[in-house]
Homo-oligomer: A and B are copies of this chain.
Amino acid sequence: MEAEGPLVSVLDHGALKLIQSYGDDSMICRAARVSVDGGVREGTPSKERDRVLIRYLAKQHHTSPFEHCGATFYVKAPIFVLRQWHRHRTQSYNELSGRYSTTFGEYYLPTVERLITEQSQDSRQGQGRVKGPEEALMAREKIREHCEKALEEYHSLLEMGVSRELARSVLPLNVYSEMYATANLWNWTRFLKLRLAQDAQFEIRAYAKAILAALREVFPTGMGAFAEMEGWG
């Protein structure tokens, strides 16, 4: 288990932090080698032999050895990002609950640049037609005003005695929530494959990039092999 990583800023108020990891490059190799050697040998083959083996495993999609490694992240992200994230059903989640808590107070406001930029040509879903900086600034202000109002309504409903679980229903999808997410290394690579892709939404890609960076530090060869293979730069 590595020491906790730094709290990395993502988007305007979001964050990501490596809480713990387990396994390492040599665990991957040890698990892989049991199929041939058996034994509980802790023998330490050369780093170079490990590197060759790990790249072979990644390339051949021999995925099981990567399942003996993993990591837990603390994540603070807009709810619409968490909605995409939770479609990954092989992670373990604990999230801030709108039934137990009323600590929702921040929302995601896209930058003017983000509001203008169209996503890649082949990605229809992100396509906008905002004309230029002025129009983008106007849109940004509209979002801000609306979200400020929504938070006000939320607290006003709570004050009227409406239960937390109902009051939260007026919160917008860009409100920040928080969670812990744990997955094994193989499943993190599946997350990254989808969420680093060109057609993934910009906002979740920002988190995926931070996860990739953190996992490359802990599993330089294991994650490096996938990064190279998939062209994750």
Contact = CB atoms under 8 A, between A and B. Distances in A.
B172 A170 contact: yes
Please report whether the interface of chain A is mostly helix, strand, loop or mixed according to DSSP.
mixed
Given A30-B180, A34-B179, A170-B174, A99 B125 contact: yes
25 contacts: A21-B22, A30-B180, A34-B96, A35-B95, A35-B96, A37-B96, A37-B101, A38-B76, A40-B74, A68-B92, A68-B180, A89-B90, A92-B184, A99-B201, A100-B124, A119-B163, A135-B160, A139-B162, A142-B156, A142-B157, A146-B153, A150-B170, A168-B173, A171-B172, A171-B173
Interface of A: 1, 4, 7, 15, 17, 19-23, 27, 30-32, 34-40, 42, 64-65, 67-68, 70, 72, 74, 76, 78-80, 83, 86-87, 89-90, 92-101, 103, 107-108, 110, 114-115, 118-119, 124-131, 135, 138-139, 142-143, 146-147, 149-150, 153, 156-157, 160-166, 168-174, 177-180, 182, 184, 201
